[in-house]
Amino acid sequence: HVYLVESGGGLVQAGGSLKLSCRASGDIFSGLATAWFRRAPGKERELVAGITSDDNTYHEDSMKGRFTISRGAAKNTVNLQMNSLNLDGTAVYYCAARYGRRLPGSPDEYDYWGQGTQVTVSS
């Protein structure tokens, strides 16, 4: 099993920045792809960004140029740098992982999930 723990959420003013981190532990083998999803109030969970085991990245169109996914300095850590946050950024952000080369948009295709971290953007 792979365990995921998110950190870095909080309250930020519109236009501000936050960095989320996801640390994986447990039975980690090569080929693990990691993604960030978010669920805004009243909405479905949506893919924000992802990174494959060979460091190919994906960013949802509406977040390109503002959000950046990358590997952290600590082992088995993936970060999500979020800049120019707007009110739509208010959501619970989840780290998810799966073995495989793809980064599916459907949450159903991810096997491992963190508990989520709340991000609130204020006006």
Lookup result for tokens 């723990």: 5
pLDDT (0 to 100) of residue 50: 97
pLDDT tens digits for the chain (123 residues)?
Answer: 999 999 999 999 999 999 999 999 998 888 999 999 999 999 999 999 999 999 999 999 999 999 999 999 988 999 999 999 999 999 999 999 999 989 999 999 999 999 999 999 999
CA distances from 104 to 14, 36, 84 (A): 29, 11, 26
